[in-house]
Structure 1
Amino acid sequence: MADNNRISSSAIRNLLKVYFITGSVNCRLSPTEVLSEALAGGITLFQFREKGKGALTGRGKFELAQNLMQLCRAHGVPFIVNDDLELAIALDADGIHVGQDDTPAGMIRRRLGAGKIIGVSVHTLQEAQQATQDGADYLGVGPVYPTSSKEDAQPVNGTRLIEDLRLQGIDIPLVGIGGITLSNAAPIIAAGADGISLISAIAQADQISEAARGFVKTVEEGLRLRG
């Protein structure tokens, strides 16, 4: 597939505004109910991340992913798979997000083709430069704040790394992740990120749709202020 079938950076930036990530282990309600409410609240991108104690495997994982992808498709929201390249291929998912210990973006691109979204988690300038060189569509930068959603979380960076990446000329779409709440989201956008990634702040919210709406409003206001 030719490079001109790649999704544009401007389109990726719009998709990253409110990027919801979850799996069965993160949800108080059923994952389908949680995602339905999050979609109703206006999330712009979804990542299926089925990891942690009690996570589904095999057929159960595949069927849940399939159901959640159908919900996303019905709302016009792209469906991203965390780490699992074979699952992404089997589902014909819209893309994949990988960490530093996973398959490099360049190899993934050869498997998935140009039209799929590839995101890479980065924690340093060098990792960001390498992921960009490898052909990532966006970078997940964090953890910005302390988080309990990921057992293997890296040291907290605050917004400093996002600011540094922009100052060093990294203009690829960026999304901040880690410990983000309504009260601390605005500085991430001010620092230069295009959006925020959220797990528990939406999945564990008492009013999921309202929480998602609040994040959409905060991000859009932050982007307007930044100009």
Structure 2
Amino acid sequence: MTMTSRPLYLVTDRLDNTPAEFLRQIDAACRGGVDLIQLREKTVSSREYYKLAKSVKEITDRYQRPLLIDDRLDVAQAVDAAGVHLGQTDLPVAVARRILGPDKLIGATAKTLEQAQAAVAQGADYLGVGAIFPTTTHVQTVHTSVATLTAIRQAVPIPVYAIGGLNATNVAAVAPAGVAGVAVVSAIMKAANPEAAARALRQRVLTVIG
């Protein structure tokens, strides 16, 4: 599987929603045109993560959208997800690649050029770079400038996604970097109408990245 032509990447945040409400949001976002979904759960048990991932994958499969699992290789394998996304404190990319094999997607978070180059050397398929703007998610972030984003994109041969506080009103800021796409959380997960938000944001992203 490749990351070609997947400009809008949704990273989930359940907030205070019930599982049923959350799944409806995912369905709506898929209808709206998100190209890739990462299920991110930081506080649930392994059993809960597995059950939720299984339910989410039923939706993403229906829309033929790849599902990535944040952090957890075991959950990704258990539901036969498209792959995983790994942060700097998770398993090394090289270890994940050895476990998952060549056909699964592995994404890596990179905030510096050195981290980006290390992830590429270890076999990452794409990079998530940010936070470009302050975020309202519960995940701790470090600011990354557009200049650093641009330097990383120019230095690596794999797709680079900008992430961090991005929405339809500010996404033009990453245009100079020439990224492959944009990853968002709140712009869709906190929207009153996730389907409409995804549709509008995807069109905006396509305009920005050309």
* 2:183 partner SS: strand
1:222 aligns with: 208
2:176 aligns with: 190
**In 2, Cα distance between the equivalents of 1:152 and 1:23?**
14
**In 2, Cα distance between the equivalents of 1:99 and 1:147?**
17
Q: CA deviation at 1:27?
A: 4.6
**Is the Cα contact below 8 Å between 1:189 and 1:219 reproduced in 2?**
no
**Is the Cα contact below 8 Å between 2:179 and 2:209 reproduced in 1?**
no
The alignment status of 1:160 with 2:151, answered yes or no, reads: no
**Is the Cα contact below 8 Å between 2:131 and 2:163 reproduced in 1?**
yes
* 1:115 partner SS: coil
**In 2, Cα distance between the equivalents of 1:189 and 1:44?**
19
Stretches of structure 2 that go unaligned for 5 or more consecutive residues are: none
The alignment status of 1:34 with 2:25, answered yes or no, reads: yes
**Is the Cα contact below 8 Å between 1:141 and 1:174 reproduced in 2?**
yes
Which amino acid is 1:22 matched to?
T
The alignment status of 1:63 with 2:54, answered yes or no, reads: no
**In 2, Cα distance between the equivalents of 1:23 and 1:222?**
25
If the length of structure 2 is used for normalisation, what is the TM-score? 0.94
Stretches of structure 1 that go unaligned for 5 or more consecutive residues are: 1-6
Matching residue within 198, 205, 210 for 2:191: 205
1:20 aligns with: 10
Matching residue within 108, 132, 151 for 2:120: 132
Q: CA deviation at 1:97?
A: 0.1
In structure 2, the CA distance between the partners of 1:152 and 1:119, relative to structure 1 (3 Å rule), is same
**In 1, Cα distance between the equivalents of 2:17 and 2:126?**
26
Q: CA RMSD in A?
A: 1.6
- Residue by residue over 1:185-211, the C-alpha shift from the partner in whole angstroms, topping out at 9 and shown as x without a partner, is 122243121111111110110111111
**In 1, Cα distance between the equivalents of 2:16 and 2:132?**
19
**In 1, Cα distance between the equivalents of 2:106 and 2:90?**
12
Q: CA deviation at 1:34?
A: 0.5
* 1:145 partner SS: coil
**In 2, Cα distance between the equivalents of 1:46 and 1:145?**
21
In structure 2, the CA distance between the partners of 1:119 and 1:32, relative to structure 1 (3 Å rule), is same
**In 2, Cα distance between the equivalents of 1:38 and 1:107?**
32
**Is the Cα contact below 8 Å between 1:34 and 1:208 reproduced in 2?**
yes
**In 2, Cα distance between the equivalents of 1:27 and 1:180?**
22
**Is the Cα contact below 8 Å between 2:9 and 2:37 reproduced in 1?**
yes
If the length of structure 1 is used for normalisation, what is the TM-score? 0.87
**Is the Cα contact below 8 Å between 1:48 and 1:82 reproduced in 2?**
yes
The alignment status of 1:146 with 2:134, answered yes or no, reads: yes
**In 2, Cα distance between the equivalents of 1:150 and 1:197?**
16
**Is the Cα contact below 8 Å between 1:26 and 1:203 reproduced in 2?**
no
